[in-house]
Amino acid sequence: MSQDIAPTPQAVLYQLMGITSMDIIWALALSTHLGMQGSYNETHPHVRLENNGYIAGAYYNSMERMSLYAGHRFESGNAGLELALVTGYDEFGAIAPYVRGTYDIGNTRVFVAPTGEKWYGETNIGAVIGIEIQIK
């Protein structure tokens, strides 16, 4: 005798949205800030959803705030480019652009991203570089 198992609400939602699979990635990034005057958080717990190049997630940012983002990831071999919108950087508005270049080595992602700060009335432009260990 076989018993039918009803699909979960999540599975029904995915089917209605045309999503065949979605990756959930847990990560911890370690970073350093180049060209900045201030002192910044350099440990970033991170959770991400990925589906067909679309990305969305949350992480603890350099300003010691929670950031939410959504955008797209372009890949070529081990290299990637992420373009998104992000929250949590109030100095630059409620929503800011997010750009990150990456290179994957196994479950480790090396990254570089532009950054900026307002320091005593001046705007400084620099870079964030780091590594991110991922659990898929």
Residue type at position 89: Y
Torsion angle of C-alpha atoms 35, 37, 43, 48, degrees rounded to 10: -60
**Helix runs in the chain, H state only:** 9-17
Query: How much is the pTM?
Result: 0.83
Query: Which of 86, 112, 109 minimizes the C-alpha distance to 98?
Result: 86
> Which residue shows structure tokens 């100095």?
91
> Which residue shows structure tokens 């290179």?
103
Q: What is the pLDDT of residues 2-42, one digit of tens each?
A: 566 776 665 665 666 565 668 999 999 999 999 999 999 99
The tokens describing 9, both together, are 């609400």
Q: What is the pLDDT of residues 68-117, one digit of tens each?
A: 999 999 999 999 999 999 999 988 889 999 999 999 999 999 999 999 99
Q: Which CATH class is domain 22-135?
A: mainly beta
Domain boundaries, the chain: 22-135
